[in-house]
Structure 1
Amino acid sequence: MRFRLKMMLGMLCLLAVLFGVGGSLLIALSFESSLEREEESARESYRMLLDTLTVVGSMDAWSQSGDIPHMLEQLYDRSGSSWSALRFSTPGEVLYESGSTAIGFENDRAGVDADHGAVLMRSDGEGRWYLQLSGECAIDGEPHYLDALYDISPLYQTRSHQQAAFRAVFAVLIVLCALLAYGLSWLLTRPLSKLTRATREIASGNLSFRSNVRNDDEIGELSTSFDVMAQRVEGGVAEMKRSLERQERFMGGFAHEVKTPMTAIIGYADLIRSQALDPHEQIEAAGYIFSEGKRLENLSLKLLDIFVLGKNEVQLVASAPADLVADTVGSLKLAVAGRGRAILIEEDCEKGTCLLEPDLVQSLLLNLIDNACKAVGDRGAVKVTCTMLPDGCRLSVADDGAGIPAEALDHVSEAFYRVDASRSRAQGGSGLGLSLCAKIAELHQGSLSVRSEIGIGTCVTVDLRAGRG
């Protein structure tokens, strides 16, 4: 059963109990009050009648006439409908009786004397009710009894009419209350319906849905708490997605960065394995293999910190960017020559030092130069320049390749974006190169920009502004 129906039934039960008990009690109290007034009125009338008989019975002239029944008949006629029946009697004889009722007089005289009377409430079984008042008076020294029946049926009829009217009003009120209670419960539970919809939306995957209930009550507080919970859940899920993306970027970035060092390492190892080298050449080749292996190890840990752990700070040291450019160009020349490609790689660097993270900057240079070599194909020229700035350095890598379309320039630094997807896959690209370069520039408080013209070439400029060493 829906909650609003439960609320409606609860209100109806409450109304039925309160109105039913209250109305019945009110009718009962009104009836008792009316009955007491009627009984008091009957007592007064009876007392006047009995006092009259007592006074008249004490008069010698009257007692000599013995016409008390005649006087009672006159009193009965004058009383109109006050009395339904009268009876005047002695212990052994009925002297006078008038009126006709469906019930007779009760002859129980217990407790009735000159100072005490009796009042009995009697019914004829057909819906009529009477008060029987009995008393004793002395006439000529002999006890006489006066019994009177007072009709109180109108009180019971009035009560019956009141009860019938009460039942009709009660039925109407129940119907009206049912309608009003349902409308009120619908208004009160409407925010709960919104909350239910919100839970269904969130359960179906729509984590951005909110209940937006702004009531100033407990339901409003519940809605606010629910929306805060939903926002935190959405934030947690978004953070999980970002974490997964960072892990994917780390794997792709690591695979991307490991290619060039591994090419050099394999090349020198093959050189040592396949050719007879003098001791100096052997030491130089082994040293290069060792240095590239260590750089690859350090680079993997730094990429892990950047992409998976989300660290935005690196340890910067005073470094000479010209030396980093020279080392990078030297290793790439070997890799390019090993592939049989006629690519001229030139460098033009200004001497000086600035604050850098050497492994990351060398990874940046490797990406930019490698991208430039891919752009020129099997024949072309790549120029690397380094200019010192007051707060760092500027690195530029230019090529005379095919260029990048204008509509693609705004997306080249996005992760996994490829200008030419088919060629990038053929050359082993992962679409993470410039994205990683932009991140490295950001860690050095710098920026990355790309200029390109179709058929002329591309120039990528990176400003590293972490300070001078």
Structure 2
Amino acid sequence: MTFRLKITLCMVGLLSVLFGIGGSLLVALSFQSSLEQEQEAAYGAYQMVIGTLTVVDDVNGSLSDDDIARTLKQLTEQSRNGWTFLRLATAENTLYEHGASLHSRHFGTYPEAGTCTIRYEAPASGEHAVVLSGALETSGKTLYLDMTRDVSALIEARDAQQQTFQQVFLLMVVLCALLSYTVARVLTAPLVDLSRTSRSIAAGRLSSRANIASRDEIGRVARDFNEMADALESTIAELEDAAERQNLFTGSFAHEVKTPMTSIIGYADLIQKQALEPDELTEAARYIFTEGKRLESLSGKLLDLLVLHGQSIALAPASPASIVEELTGRLAPIYAEQGIALVCECEEGTCLLEADLVASLLVNLCDNARKAMDEAGGTLSVRVAMAPDGCRIAIGDTGRGIPPEALAHLTEAFYRVDKSRSRSQGGVGLGLALCREIVALHNGSMRFASSVGKGTIVTVWLKGGAA
């Protein structure tokens, strides 16, 4: 059973109970009030008879039975009290009777003198009446008075009211069912949309969203659902991207290992099967040595990358200027042989660092800058500036530069802008990935700015904290 149908049935049931009880009670109270009015009218007629006989008795003295009957007849002819039957009798005989009795039996046991009883009766004939039985004292005699008032019209009015109420009740139930279903359909429409959206997302259409703009509880649920869908879509996109990067990493790693291994196996097989000239043997050994060093560099950097990933380190007070000056002092003679001028500008100060990792970071960045310069050489600059929460290191070169589309991928493992040139220079594509992990361990960030043909500047913020 649908939720909207449940709402409809609940509303119809509630209306039926409340309207049924209220309407029936209203009809019953109306009938009771009218019946009480009829009883009051009967009692008024009884009081009038008593008053009339008392007055006549006081004026004329003791009344005979004929005088009483005559007086009552005159009263009946003049009165318009609406009784359908009236009888005045003694214990032995009837003094006066007017109208047709609604009862074939005696009216019942008479009360004490000066009192009366009033009751409602429905005779077997189907006529309904208010019956009054009373006893009165006049002229030293006890007289018994029986009166009836026909209330069949009152009963018919009640039955008509009940019939009208039943018709109105049925109409109200039908209208309530239609209106309740319509209202329930409007109220549950956002839930239907929410359900349809959830099924769409479950089917793989992650961009589906609930289009609900209301500000009620359902609207809040829809907004929370959309936020959950956004987070889910973002998470799945990240997982897909991570899986793609993992596949690229695996493929690149396999390729990087396969290339030097192929050369090593090939030249080793050549040396084993053939007698080579000394020059050829030297060349083969050189290839084996070079490719072996590439494998050693690859395994070392890959190990460093795996060790650093997700680890925490102990930072200690250190001088970034001292680290940079010591490093550039060792590299300057080597770079000078390649026509590269090494410029160093350092601001003195201390901050929290892991000195060995920062030195490895600088070596990798400087090595990348060196590889980016042509054989004609150029200028490589290293600048250090202190900050309240650490330091900033900027390494710039006047090399080839990096295309804009490659900047976002520089820190990916095995990524190289120029694969053939990097391989010939001994690169394995892990240096910047290692730099990224070192910077992350110092709660820092790394940014690349480059222009093709003009050079590149790598700015590193290390935010390990003040010493």
Q: 1:356 to 1:364 in 2, by over 3 A?
A: same
- Aligned with 1:66: secondary structure? helix
Q: Output one character per residue of 1:236-275: Cα deviation in whole Å (capped at 9) or x when no partner.
A: 2112112102212212332344356546755786688677
Per-residue deviation, 1:221: 2.2
Structure 1 contact 133–147 (Cα < 8 Å) conserved: yes
Alpha-carbon separation, structure 1, partners of 2:242 and 2:430: 16
Give the letter for the 2:213 counterpart.
R
Q: 1:195 to 1:20 in 2, by over 3 A?
A: same
Q: What is aligned with 1:295?
A: 297
Q: 1:65 to 1:226 in 2, by over 3 A?
A: closer
Q: What is aligned with 1:124?
A: 123
Per-residue deviation, 1:299: 2.8
Q: What is aligned with 1:394?
A: 397
Per-residue deviation, 1:383: 5.0
Per-residue deviation, 1:147: 0.9
- Aligned with 1:236: secondary structure? helix
Q: How does 1:60-459 map to 2 (within 5 A)?
A: 63-64=63-64, 66-80=66-80, 82-104=82-104, 106-110=106-110, 112-258=111-257, 261-262=260-261, 291-301=293-303, 318=327, 349-350=340-341, 357=361, 383=375, 385-389=377-381, 391=383, 392-394=395-397, 396=399, 445-447=447-449, 450=452
Alpha-carbon separation, structure 2, partners of 1:192 and 1:162: 44
Structure 1 contact 367–437 (Cα < 8 Å) conserved: no
Alpha-carbon separation, structure 2, partners of 1:67 and 1:119: 27
Per-residue deviation, 1:386: 4.9
TM-score, normalising length: structure 1: 0.68
Alpha-carbon separation, structure 2, partners of 1:362 and 1:151: 121
Q: 1:178 to 1:324 in 2, by over 3 A?
A: farther
Per-residue deviation, 1:81: 5.6
What stretches of structure 1 of length at least 5 have no aligned partner?
A: 327-345, 370-381, 399-408, 416-423, 452-459
What stretches of structure 2 of length at least 5 have no aligned partner?
A: 313-319, 346-358, 384-394, 410-417, 440-445, 462-467
Alpha-carbon separation, structure 2, partners of 1:267 and 1:353: 45
Q: What is aligned with 2:413?
A: none
Alpha-carbon separation, structure 2, partners of 1:366 and 1:258: 24
Give the letter for the 2:154 counterpart.
L
Per-residue deviation, 1:150: 1.6
Alpha-carbon separation, structure 2, partners of 1:249 and 1:87: 118
Give the letter for the 1:18 counterpart.
L
Per-residue deviation, 1:38: 2.0
Give the letter for the 1:37 counterpart.
Q
Q: What is aligned with 2:442?
A: none
Alpha-carbon separation, structure 2, partners of 1:389 and 1:20: 94
Per-residue deviation, 1:46: 0.7
Per-residue deviation, 1:310: 13
Structure 2 contact 335–342 (Cα < 8 Å) conserved: no
Q: 1:166 to 1:246 in 2, by over 3 A?
A: same
Identity of aligned residues (%): 34
Structure 2 contact 129–148 (Cα < 8 Å) conserved: yes
**Are 2:17 and 1:13 aligned?**
no
- Aligned with 1:67: secondary structure? helix
Alpha-carbon separation, structure 2, partners of 1:178 and 1:215: 25
Alpha-carbon separation, structure 2, partners of 1:21 and 1:387: 99
- Aligned with 2:194: secondary structure? helix
Alpha-carbon separation, structure 2, partners of 1:310 and 1:220: 43
- Aligned with 1:128: secondary structure? coil
Alpha-carbon separation, structure 2, partners of 1:137 and 1:153: 28
Alpha-carbon separation, structure 2, partners of 1:63 and 1:42: 25
